[in-house]
Structure formats: structure tokens, C-alpha cells
Amino acid sequence: MSLNAAVQHSRKMKRSLESVEKYPAKRRSSWGVLTNQGSWADRSPLHEAASQGRLLGLKTLLSQGYNVNTVTIDHVTPLHEACLGDHVACARTLLEAGANVNATTIDGVTPLFNACSRGSASCVELLLEYGAKAQLETCLPSPTHEASSKGYSECLDVLISWGIDVDQDIPHLGTPLYLACKAQQISCVRKLLYAGADVQQGRHLDSPLHAAAQQSSTDIVNLLLDFGADINAKNTDLKRPVDVAAARSSVEKHLLLYEATPCSLCQLCRLCIRNCIGGSRLHLVPQLQLPTILKDFLQYRESIRNF
């Protein structure tokens, strides 16, 4: 190659690389050429069948010898795809064929996380039956946090029934209760509190009540206070929940009124007894040798509001 031709080739390659960096889509489409790894997604026919819920096609491919645990370049498995699509029958077929129920992508996402992200309680139940771990040792994406933040209370119900730690604290996210308050998902807030979640534990010094006050969620604020949230808790900025509430908002007024009104003796007794029992043992309340009306009271049953 002549010197002039070499210079022209060098300039052409430089322009090509600059174009790839400027346009991410082009960079992705060029990845297979640059790395000899195939397409960017590297999806197999098994991935396609699982993501589209084509059960017959899925079974046919498996019978033809396709690896049930084949992964894309990002370590996505067909089971990840089936759960994200809420295709329970496909997920069951893959698991019966030996799919790794705890497979993780390069981002640490599991099939269980995908099921919670989609709100598929049926897939969540299925995965747990096959040994899915709801909480991994490292701070990877948490299915419980995902369900709580998106308001998928049915998924949360299933996870709670399998004995998850409702107070799992991920440093950059906080607890599931904190996320549910921040996302204003009152049904998930209620389920977590009923399951014994610590009403004071949020993210660092920010309590769930701080999160609810910031979002102007009067119903959630009232619920947290009912479960004993500390109105005087201070965050890292030394601010109380009332200090982070919008000025002259209904939440601010509610917090100020609560602060000026002493709790009833009835409420104080309930909180004291629940604290003595401990959050991890609240599920045993129905077994106590107490009148039903008292057991309902300790569990915040609606029928006892006029106790």
C-alpha cells in the first residue's frame, strides 16, 4: 500500500470510529463486527420464543437440543425473558428442563426480579417453588424493593408469605418501606407494615415518614403515624418530617395537628405490645390466647377501628 493510500485509509478509519462514538446505535450494531461475537443482543430462538410466550415453539426448540441456559452477551437467559413477559407456562417449561432459577445478568438481575418488575405474582410463586432466592448476599437489585416501588402488592404478598426480610436495607435505596412511601404506593406500605416492617427504618437517617411527607401523601403519613412513626425523627440535615413537607400543605397541617394532640392510651398500649412481641413474630399474634377482638386490634384490622 502506498503512503498516500495508507493515509487515506487511516483517515477513513478515524471518521468511522468517530461516527460510532457519536451514534450509540451504530456502535451497538457494529459491536458484532468489532468483537466477532455475533449481534449485540445475541438472542437465540429460545429467547425469542420465551419472550413472546410461544409455548409450543419453546418445547420444540428444547426437544431439538437447544441449551435451556443459553445466554446473551449480557447473560440474559430465556427464563429471564419468560418472567419479564409474564409467560408462566413458558417459565415452568424452562424450569422443568433445568433452567437456572437464580441466573443473574451482568447487572445482577435475576428472573425473580424480572417477575416482580412485571408484576407477575404467578411467576414469583413459581420461581420461589423452584428455589429462587429473594435476597442474595450482595447488594444486587432486590425483587422486594422492585415490587414495593412499583406497587405490585400481589407480588409482595407472595414474597412475604415465603419469609423475606421486609427490612432488607440496600445502602443506595433504603428499605422496601422507604421506597414504597417515596413512590406513594399505599397498598405496599400497608402490607409491609402489617408484615412487621420497621416503621423507623428508611434510607440512612431519612425515615419512611420523611419520604411520605416530601411526597405530600397524607394517607401514607397517617398510616405510618398509626404504626408508631417518630414525628420528631431527624434526617442528616437535622430536619423532621414536618420540616420537609411542603409549606401550608395538608401534610404539614396534619403533622402539626398530630404533634399537638397526645396519642390515646389505647394506641400507646397497642404500640407497646407490638414492640414487645417484635416485628419478626407478629405473624404469631393470631395464635395468642386472647379474645378475637384483641387480636384484631393488635393486627390493625379495620373491624376494630371503633374499639
Residue 49 confidence (pLDDT) above 60? yes
**Domain boundaries in the chain?**
41-133, 142-261, 275-307
Residue 16 confidence (pLDDT) above 60? no
Q: Supply the CATH classification number for the domain 142-261.
A: 1.25.40.20
pLDDT tens, 90-132? 999 999 999 999 999 998 899 999 999 999 999 999 999 999 9
Instruction: Report pLDDT for 122.
Output: 97
Q: Give the mean pLDDT of 261-268.
A: 83
Is 170 in a helix, a strand, or coil? Answer: strand
Residue 11 confidence (pLDDT) above 70? no
Helices (H), the chain: 3-22, 24-35, 45-52, 55-63, 78-84, 88-96, 111-118, 121-129, 143-150, 153-161, 176-182, 186-194, 208-214, 218-226, 241-244, 250-260, 265-277, 292-298
pLDDT tens, 150-182? 999 999 999 999 999 999 999 889 999 999 999
Residue 29 confidence (pLDDT) above 80? no
Residue 276 confidence (pLDDT) above 90? no
pTM metric for this prediction: 0.79
Q: Supply the CATH classification number for the domain 41-133.
A: 1.25.40.20
Among 16-25, 188-197, 298-307, whose mean pLDDT is lowest? 16-25
